[in-house]
Amino acid sequence: DIVLTQSPGTLSVSPGESATLSCRASQTVSSSYLAWYQQKLGQPPRLLLYGASNRATGIPDRFSGSGSGTDFTLTISRLEPEDFAVYYCQQYGSSPLYSFGQGTKLEIK
Amino acid sequence: QVQLQESGPGLVKPSQTLSLTCTVSGGSVNSDGYYWSWIRQHPEKGLEWIGYIYHSGTTFSNPSLNSRLTISLDTSKNQVSLKLSSVTAADTGVYYCARGLDVRYCSGDTCSHSWVFDPWGQGTLVTVSS
């Protein structure tokens, strides 16, 4: 089974600064099949990016993604108070058909 | 705007069957191109995809749950159902219903597909305990 490992587990950043979150796969993932979600406390996950770098509807341009192969990155620029949440990467295609990373908690420094 | 709402018992005894329903509003479970999915989140842990059902009735599930899982559609009620048998404490968690979709996008002359979940229901907490 493919395993997605996110790092760091917790990231402390000040509002206004940038945050870089990593997602590493145990085997090659097509960049088309890599997505990112944001989950705030008590809420379901919300789709942020698909195809590794394409923003979902309504997602501000301070969210960007990159990567290929086994290494993918989510970058959040100019952090706003509402951006502090848990972020998950998700892959499609390998067994199991869909899987998620364990999440990175972005907290206010 | 499509909305999903999960419902079902919050407490299930070990060895029994967990049954949940997802009611879809603002859209039809009969629509082509959507994979009505169940995803769960274990306490303080990450997300686990359980399985999906297509409007045709075709299902696909996580191999780790395959033998215990049934996902079905009720088109008359616009609902998706989940049944998980022989539950244990390890099945405790928040269960989400989500619409799986194939997003087609193009960059220049190259077009690709991405399979994602959007939107999600609010989730329902299920505890397995005697």
Q: CA–CA separation, A93 vs A38, rounded Å?
A: 21
**Whether residue B14 has a cis bond before it, omega within 30° of 0:** no
CB–CB contact A32 B113 (8 Å): yes
**Whether residue A60 has a cis bond before it, omega within 30° of 0:** no
Q: How many CB atoms lie within 10 A of CB A10?
A: 10
Residue B86, min C-alpha distance to chain A (Å): 21
pLDDT per position as a tens digit, A20-30? 999 999 999 99
pLDDT per position as a tens digit, B46-56? 899 999 999 99
Secondary structure class of A96 (helix, strand, coil) = coil
User: Please, which residues 70-99 of chain A have a Cβ atom closer than 8 Å to chain B?
Assistant: 88, 90, 92-93, 95-99
Given a cut of 90, whether residue B106 has pLDDT beyond it is: no
Q: Which residues contact A107 (CB under 8 A, 6 or more apart)?
A: A10, A11, A12, A13, A84
Q: How far is CA B14 from the centre of its chain?
A: 21
Q: Which residue has the tokens 């060895």?
A: B15
pLDDT given for residue A20 in this prediction: 98
pLDDT given for residue B66 in this prediction: 79
Tell me the two tokens of residue A57: 């509807």
- Name which of A44, A54, A102 is nearest B123 (Cβ-Cβ): A44
CB–CB contact B116 A102 (8 Å): no
**Contact B93/B126 with Cβ under 8 angstroms?**
yes
| Most B CBs within 10 Å, among A5, A97, A102, A105, to test the B interface | A97
